[in-house]
A and B are shown apart, each in its own frame.
Chain A
Amino acid sequence: MLSYLILVLLLLILAGFALGHRKALAVGATSDVRMHSLAGYHGWYVAALVGIPSFVLVLLWLLFQGPVVDWLLIGSLPKEGVDGLDKGQLDLLISQIKSVAAGNIFGDPDAVVLEAADRYNRWNTIADWALFVLAVAVALAGIALAQQRISARFRARNTVELVMSGLMIACSLIAILTTFGIVASLLYESLRFFDKVSVAEFLTGLNWEPQIPIREGQVTAGGAFGAIPVFAGTLLIALIAMVVATPIGLFAAVYLTEYASSKFRSVIKPLLEILAGIPTVVYGFFAVLTVAPAIRNIGQAMGFEIAPNSAFAAGAVMGIMLIPFISSLSDDAIASVPQSMRDGSYALGATKGETITKVLLPSALPGIMGGVLLAASRAIGETMIVVMAAGIIASLTFNPFEPVTTVTVQIMTLLTGDTEFDNPKTLAAFALGLVLFLSTLVLNIIALRIVQKYREQYE
C-alpha cells in the first residue's frame, strides 16, 4: 500500500513538473510581457508544491498512525477485561492482538482478542486508505494551486530557490537533530534507570551483576549496578591499547616525516592506512583466532596461566587498530612545524635526531597529545573487538592477563536478546551509554581544542 502511494506521488510530482513546464511555455507564447522565469522553474515550482506537502503529510501520518490506532484499540477493549491489568500485562495483550491480526494464531485465543484483532486490522486498513486519499488529494490540490499561479510576472525562480534554501537548511538541521536525539534518548532512559538505581550506587558501587530477575519469583543473583569494575576494565583495555599504539605510531610518524624518502613514504603510508580501514569485527575475529591463543601459548611456555579472553589480547589488537590513527595525526603535527625551526636547529649543528627530539617533538607535542586523546576516545568507544575478545563478567582487577569487561561489552550484552524497556537491566545499558557518550565527547572536545590552538600558533 505504502509503496503504491509513494509511486503514485512520484508520478504526480512528475506530472506536476510537466504540466507546469507546459503551462509556462503556453503562457509565455501568448503573453505580451517577457516571462520572469524560465519554464523549467515553473515546472519545479509545481513539483515542489505537489511533493513537499504530500510527503510531509505521509511522514507525519506514519509517525502517528501506530500510536493512535494502539490508543483506539486500548480504548475499545471491554472495561472489565482491561481494568486491573498493569502496564506489562496490557502490553502483552496488545502484542497478542497484533500477532493474531498479522495472522499468526497460536493456540486458541479469546473471542475478545479475535474481535480486537479484527478491529485492529479494520482500523489500519481505514487509516491506510485515508492516508492514500488524503495524500493524493493534497498532491492534486498542489498541482491546481500552483498551476493557477503561473503567469509571466510570477517569480518562479526566486520561489524555487527559496524552497531549495529551505530544504538545505532542513538538511543541515539533521546533524543537530541527531545530537539532540542521542542526548535526549540517553538522558531519558538513564533517568528512568536512576529512578530504580541511585546515581551514587551506579558511579561508586564495586559490584556489577546486572542479571536481575525478569519474571516474578525467578531466582537469580541480586542484581547490582555498581559500574566501577566496568569503568576500570574499560580503562585497563584502553590503556593497554594506547601503550601498544602510541610508541609504534609515534616512531613510525617520525620516520615517515623526517627520514623516509618520498617514494618509501608513498608506499608505506597507504599500507598503514589499510590497518585503519579494516572493520573492527575483523579485528575481533583476529583477536579470537590468532592473538589470544598465541598469548596463551606464550604464557604457558613461560609457566603461567593466561585467560583466553584476557584484557591483554583485546587491548593489544585494539592497539594495532589505533597505530595508523596515531601515526597520521602525529604525522600532521610534526609536518606542520615550520621549516624555519628545523633550519635553525641544523644551523646550530644539531643532528637530525637531535632536531627531532629537542625541537620538533616538543613543538609538535600539543598536536601529538591531541591525536593521542582522540585515539583514547576511540579506544574507549570501540565495541566489536572487546565484544568478541574480552570478558563479560565484571571483575575489579588491574592484571592485564585476567578477563575484564568494558562499557561497550556491557551495552551489547544487556541489549541483545530481551529488550523490555521497563527493567533496570535494559535501562542500565543507556546509563552506560550516557557515560560513554559524555566521556568521549569531553575527550574529543579537549583534543580538538588542543589541536586547533596549536595550529593557530603557527599559522
Chain B
Amino acid sequence: MSDAIAQAPGARTRENYWRTNAAKRRVRRRYAADRRLQYYGLGSIGLAIVLLGILFSSLIFSGYVAFFTTKIGLTIYLDPNVIDKANPGAANYRKMARNAFFTYFPEVTSPMERRQLGKSLSSGAPYVVRNYVIAHPEEIGDLVDIKVPLSDPFDQLSKGVIPREIDALSGDRVALFNVLKRRGVLHVENDKAYVKADVYINPGDVPEGDVEAADYQRMVDEAFRTFYMRAHSRAYEEILSQDVASAVKARVLADPALVGKTIQVNLPLSKHYDNLARTGEAKVLNPRFSSEKDLQWFDSLKKRGLLTTHFTWELFFNADSRFPELAGLSGALTGSFLALLVCFLLSFPIGIATAVYLEEFAPKTRWTDFIEVNINNLAAVPSVVFGLLGLAVFLNVFGLPRSVPLVGGMVLALMTLPTIIVATRAALKAVPPSIREGGYGVGASKHQVMLHHVLPLALPGILTGTIIGLAQALGETAPLLLIGMNAFIPSIENMGLLQPAMALPTQIFSWADSPERGFVSRTSAAILILLSFLIIMNAIAVYLRQRVERKW
C-alpha cells in the first residue's frame, strides 16, 4: 500500500523530490536570498568606505590650496631716517609696504583708488616687513626685496578657489526662469529679451476712465501670474524690468479704446534675466572684489610675472591671525603639546598604578568591584560632561585660571585614564604566570616581581594603549572649549602651562567658524595636519603592538 502511494505520479519520492521544478525554484530562491545578504553586506562596506573616501577627498580638495600662498615681491628702501635702529619695530611699515607696492602702478594716483589698490595687499604685509627688519637690522639703509602675501580674495583668486564672476541668480530663480522658457513665451528681438504676454486692460484698474492714472503694474502682474502655477512666489516680480508698466501705458495712452480689451505686449526682462535669456548665463562680479579695477590690477600683476606661489610655511610657523593668509598653527600646536604633556604625565603613572593595583594586588571585594564599575562607566561618559567637571571643579572650586593648558591637560588626563587602565590590565594579563612564579621561586617579593619582571614585559602593550589614549585626547574638542582653551593667541612667545592657550582641535573649530573664505582652506589644512598626527601616533601604536609586543 505504501509502495502504491510512493509510486503515484507526482508524489514526493526520494528519487524525484529534489528534481521537481518547484523544488529547484525553491532552492534557487534560497540561494538568491543568500546572495542578496552578501550583496547587502558588501554594499554596506562599500558605502562606508566610499563615505570615508568622500570625507578625506573633500578635506584634501578644499585643504591643499592652503599649503600654497600667492606672494608679491616688494622692493623696499629701508630708510634709516624712518627706521630707528634702536627700536626698529616702531616705524610705519604699513606706509613703506604700500608705497613700495604702489610703484607697480604709477598711473594710480588718486587717494581713493590707492586705498582700493592697497586692499590687494595683505593687511599683514607690514608685519612681514617689520619682522624682516627686526631679523636683519644690519640691512637698514639698504634696498631689500621682500615677498609679502596678497590679501585673501586675491590669493584665493590666484589659486583658482574663487571665480571672478558668480551667478547673479540663485538656483530657484533660474528654475523659475526655465518654467517661462519651457512655456515658450520668451523671445529675443534686437538683442533684447522679452516675455510675450497677453495683458488684459482691466477697466477695474482704470479709475473713472482716467487712463493716465491707471494701475498698469497690476495688470502686468495679473498677466504674468498666469505663467506660473505657484504664483505666491515673489521671485517673478524681479524677472521683469522696472519699466514694463510704462510700455503698456504708452500703448493705452496712444489708443484709449484698448481699455477692456486684451492686448499682446512684449514685456522687457530685467538685467540679469535678460542676460540669461540671451546668452544662457547671468554673471556678476564676485562680491569679494570691489570693482572690475581690482581684477585689472590683478591681471596686470600676473602678466608682469610679479606674483609667485610659495609653500605656506606660515601655516606651521605663524601663530593665529585674523588674516587667513597669515594665520598659522604654531600656537595651537604648542598648546596641544603642552596639554598632552600634562595629560601624559598625569594619566600614565596614575593609570599604570591603578591597573597594577586592580589586576595584581587588590583583593576581590565589593570595593574593588565598585572601582572597576566606575572605570568602565567613566570610559563611556560623554566628553562634554568632563568639560563641565573641569569647569565646576578645577576652575570654580580650585580657582585655577581659565584657558590654560594645565587645566586642559588635567581634564584630558581624566578622560584618558580609563583607556590606559584597560590597556594596562590587558597587557598585565597577557604576561604568563610562569614569569611570576619564577620570580617568587627565587624569593622575590610581590612588588619586586611586579616591578622587575611583569611591568617591563607588559610595557609595549601599555605604551600601545597610552599612545591610542593620547591620540584620542589630541582630537578632543568639547571639554577644551568648555574650559576656554580657545583663546586667540597671536604670538607663541609667552606660552606656558599657566598662560592662556589654544589647542589644535579648538583652533580648527574657531577657524571653521570664521567668515573669511580663506579660513575654509586653512581649516581643512589644519584638519589634515591633525589627522596626520593621529595617523603617525596610531602607526606607532600598531608598530609597537606587532613588533615589540611579545607573543607567549
> Contact flags (1/0) for B44-79 with A, using CB distance below 8 Å?
110111011011001100100000000000000000
Interfacial chain B residues near A444, Cβ < 8 Å: 377, 380
**B552 at the A interface (CB under 8 A):** no
**B417 at the A interface (CB under 8 A):** yes
Could you tell me if B389 and A161 are in contact, using CB atoms closer than 8 angstroms? no
Q: Contact check: which of A252, A388, A411 meets B45 at CB < 8 Å?
A: A252
Q: How far is the CA of A374 from the CA of B376 in the complex (A)?
A: 12
Could you tell me if A268 and B45 are in contact, using CB atoms closer than 8 angstroms? yes
Q: What are 9 A-B interface contacts by the 8 Å CB criterion? A: A171-B354, A172-B357, A173-B371, A277-B471, A279-B477, A353-B35, A383-B383, A387-B478, A440-B380
Q: How far is the CA of A271 from the CA of B538 in the complex (A)?
A: 13
Nearest B residue to A421, CB-CB: B396
Known A-B contacts A251-B43, A408-B478; the reply to A176 vs B371 at CB < 8 A is yes
Could you tell me if B477 and A300 are in contact, using CB atoms closer than 8 angstroms? no
> Contact flags (1/0) for B294-314 with A, using CB distance below 8 Å?
000000000000000000000
CB distance from B361 to the nearest CB of A (A): 6
Q: Contact check: which of B171, B389, B446, B484 meets A185 at CB < 8 Å?
A: B389
CB distance from A58 to the nearest CB of B (A): 14
Could you tell me if B33 and A353 are in contact, using CB atoms closer than 8 angstroms? yes
> Contact flags (1/0) for B2-33 with A, using CB distance below 8 Å?
00000000000000000000000000001101
**B37 at the A interface (CB under 8 A):** yes
Could you tell me if A182 and B482 are in contact, using CB atoms closer than 8 angstroms? no
Nearest A residue to B389, CB-CB: A182
Q: Contact check: which of B59, B392, B393, B445 meets A157 at CB < 8 Å?
A: B445
CB distance from A147 to the nearest CB of B (A): 23
Known A-B contacts A278-B531, A281-B508, A289-B520; the reply to A248 vs B44 at CB < 8 A is yes
**A314 at the B interface (CB under 8 A):** no
Interfacial chain A residues near B47, Cβ < 8 Å: 248
Interfacial chain A residues near B370, Cβ < 8 Å: 176
For chain B residues 342-380, which have a beta carbon within 8 Å of chain A? 349-350, 353-354, 356-358, 361-362, 370-371, 374-378, 380
For chain B residues 232-257, which have a beta carbon within 8 Å of chain A? none
Identify the 9 closest CB pairs spanning chains A and B, nearest first.
A255-B41, A381-B382, A279-B475, A353-B34, A185-B392, A171-B353, A168-B357, A251-B44, A383-B478
Interfacial chain B residues near A429, Cβ < 8 Å: 388
Nearest A residue to B170, CB-CB: A300
**B156 at the A interface (CB under 8 A):** no
Interfacial chain A residues near B354, Cβ < 8 Å: 168, 171-172, 174-175
Q: Contact check: which of B44, B418, B481 meets A412 at CB < 8 Å?
A: B481
**B391 at the A interface (CB under 8 A):** yes
Interfacial chain A residues near B397, Cβ < 8 Å: 185
For chain A residues 166-190, which have a beta carbon within 8 Å of chain B? 167-169, 171-176, 178-179, 181-182, 185-186, 188-189
Name which of B187-195, B285-293, B522-530 contacts chain A.
Answer: B522-530
Interfacial chain B residues near A448, Cβ < 8 Å: 376
Could you tell me if A285 and B45 are in contact, using CB atoms closer than 8 angstroms? no
Q: How far is the CA of A431 from the CA of B505 in the complex (A)?
A: 26
Interfacial chain B residues near A91, Cβ < 8 Å: none
Nearest B residue to A286, CB-CB: B55
CB distance from A50 to the nearest CB of B (A): 18
Tell me how many residues of A have a C-beta within 8 Å of chain B. 91
Interfacial chain A residues near B417, Cβ < 8 Å: 174-175, 178
Nearest B residue to A157, CB-CB: B445
Tell me how many residues of B have a C-beta within 8 Å of chain A. 86
> Contact flags (1/0) for A271-287 with B, using CB distance below 8 Å?
11011011111111110
The count of A-to-B residue pairs whose CB atoms sit within 8 angstroms is: 254
Interfacial chain A residues near B531, Cβ < 8 Å: 278, 282
Nearest B residue to A380, CB-CB: B382
Interfacial chain B residues near A165, Cβ < 8 Å: 357, 361, 447
> Contact flags (1/0) for B451-490 with A, using CB distance below 8 Å?
0000000000000000000010011111001101000000
Nearest A residue to B402, CB-CB: A419
Could you tell me if A388 and B48 are in contact, using CB atoms closer than 8 angstroms? no
Nearest A residue to B477, CB-CB: A281
**B36 at the A interface (CB under 8 A):** yes
Interfacial chain B residues near A416, Cβ < 8 Å: 481-482, 484
Could you tell me if B375 and A175 are in contact, using CB atoms closer than 8 angstroms? yes
Nearest A residue to B482, CB-CB: A415
**A256 at the B interface (CB under 8 A):** yes
For chain B residues 117-173, which have a beta carbon within 8 Å of chain A? 171-172
Could you tell me if A356 and B37 are in contact, using CB atoms closer than 8 angstroms? yes
**A437 at the B interface (CB under 8 A):** yes
> Contact flags (1/0) for B490-524 with A, using CB distance below 8 Å?
00000000000000010011001000000010011
**B282 at the A interface (CB under 8 A):** no
Interfacial chain A residues near B38, Cβ < 8 Å: 255, 259, 353
**A85 at the B interface (CB under 8 A):** no
For chain A residues 346-396, which have a beta carbon within 8 Å of chain B? 351-354, 356-357, 374, 377-378, 380-384, 387-388
Q: Which of A252, A323, A436 has the most CB of B within 10 A?
A: A252
Q: How far is the CA of A274 from the CA of B375 in the complex (A)?
A: 25
**A315 at the B interface (CB under 8 A):** no
Known A-B contacts A186-B388, A248-B48; the reply to A279 vs B534 at CB < 8 A is yes
**A344 at the B interface (CB under 8 A):** no
Could you tell me if B350 and A437 are in contact, using CB atoms closer than 8 angstroms? no
Q: How far is the CA of A433 from the CA of B387 in the complex (A)?
A: 10
Known A-B contacts A252-B44, A255-B45; the reply to A281 vs B377 at CB < 8 A is no
Interfacial chain A residues near B90, Cβ < 8 Å: none
Q: How far is the CA of A169 from the CA of B368 in the complex (A)?
A: 10
Interfacial chain B residues near A66, Cβ < 8 Å: 399
**A222 at the B interface (CB under 8 A):** no
**A126 at the B interface (CB under 8 A):** no
Could you tell me if B512 and A354 are in contact, using CB atoms closer than 8 angstroms? no
